[in-house]
């Protein structure tokens, strides 16, 4: 059962909103106006985007280039990604996919074809929607997966990858090296937030696992 919706007020600070998200392990809050009506939604990707706008030039978040004495801000995806991919086969049942997600505490899993290529992604949200619409648990994963796989080059710029996630409204991107077929890791909004976190309060409370 899904718990009751959580609310924040328009005048609350992002600091307080992030604390609420972290405490309740949620990714969004509804915004309640003075008359008690819901006037908007505040999502975790929205806040990560704001943090980047204000923190990208913070000296604490800039890396000192070794031996040069100059500041460098061009972090690469490979420096932040998680070099591990959990996957299911396209003919695995939704029940098997659910067990994989639960066993590894994942939000989504890569779906591979018989040749081992990544052909789609199934998330917890996909499974919830499938259950809601009466899709049998024995249904193969390929029937509900999202395709194609959204991926980014390991050598790509971290800021560009973050923008892709925010604009596409996704929490994660798979990472490839040399060729899109060669997936080597996964990059999530949480990875980015933790990597860029400095010592200011806004950064420290933004470490919400997704």
Q: Could you report the per-residue pLDDT of 48-105, keeping only the tens digit for each? A: 766 666 555 555 454 444 444 443 356 789 988 989 899 999 999 999 999 999 888 8
Alpha helices in 13-113 (DSSP H): 14-24, 44-55, 94-104
pLDDT for the residue 34 = 87
Q: What pLDDT score was predicted for residue 195? A: 66
Which parts of 86-123 fold into alpha helices (H)?
Answer: 94-104
Q: Rounded CA gap, 98 and 108, in Å?
A: 9
pLDDT in tens, 150-176: 999 999 988 888 888 888 878 889 999
**Against a cut of 0.85, is the pTM above it?**
no
| pLDDT score for 53 | 60
Q: Which pLDDT belongs to residue 196? A: 56
**Cβ contact 195:79 at 8 Å:** yes
pLDDT at 188: 87
Mean pLDDT across 189-202? 60
CATH, domain range 7-73+197-204? 3.10.580.10
- Show Cβ contacts of residue 146 under 8 Å, excluding neighbours closer than 6 positions: 120, 121, 122, 123, 126
Task: Read off the tokens for 81.
Answer: 């990604």
Tens digits of per-residue pLDDT, 2-26? 567 899 999 888 778 888 887 887 8
* CA 137 distance to own-chain centroid: 26
80, 195 in Cβ contact below 8 A? yes
Task: Please indicate whether the domains covering 7-73+197-204 and 77-194 agree at the CATH topology level.
Answer: yes
What is the arrangement of strands in the sheet containing 87-89, beginning at the earlier edge strand? 87-89, 108-112, 118-123
| pLDDT confidence band for 210 (50 / 70 / 90) | very low
**CATH architecture, range 77-194:** Roll (3.10)
Average per-residue pLDDT for the chain: 80
The CA-CA-CA angle for residues 13, 17, 20, to 5°, reads 145
Q: What is the pLDDT of residue 3?
A: 60
Tokens (6 digits) for 68: 């040069």
Q: Is the pLDDT of residue 133 over 80?
A: yes
**Among residues 82, 21, 75, 78, which one has the least CA distance to residue 48?**
21
Distance CA 95, CA 102 (A): 11
Give residue 166's pLDDT. 82
pLDDT at 206 over 60: no
Give the start-to-end residue ranges of the domains of the chain: 7-73+197-204, 77-194
């Amino acid at each position: 059962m899904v718990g009751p919706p959580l609310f924040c007020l328009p005048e609350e600070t992002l600091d307080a909103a992030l604390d609420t998200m972290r405490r309740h392990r949620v990714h969004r809050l509804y915004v309640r106006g003075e008359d008690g009506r819901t006037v908007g939604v505040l999502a975790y990707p929205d806040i990560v985007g704001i943090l980047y706008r204000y923190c990208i030039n913070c000296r604490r978040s800039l890396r000192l280039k070794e031996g040069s004495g100059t500041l460098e801000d061009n972090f690469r995806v490979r420096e932040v990604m998680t070099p591990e991919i959990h996957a299911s086969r396209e003919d695995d049942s939704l029940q098997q996919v659910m067990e994989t997600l639960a066993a590894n505490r994942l939000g989504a899993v890569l779906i591979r074809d018989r040749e081992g290529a990544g052909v789609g992604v199934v998330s917890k949200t996909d499974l919830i929607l499938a259950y809601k619409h009466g899709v049998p648990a024995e249904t193969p994963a390929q029937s509900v997966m999202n395709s194609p796989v959204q991926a980014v080059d390991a050598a790509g710029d971290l800021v560009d990858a973050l923008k892709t996630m925010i604009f596409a409204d996704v929490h994660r991107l798979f990472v490839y090296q040399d060729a899109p077929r060669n997936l080597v890791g996964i990059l999530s909004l949480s990875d980015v937030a933790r990597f860029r976190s400095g010592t200011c309060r806004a950064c420290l409370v933004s470490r919400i696992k997704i």
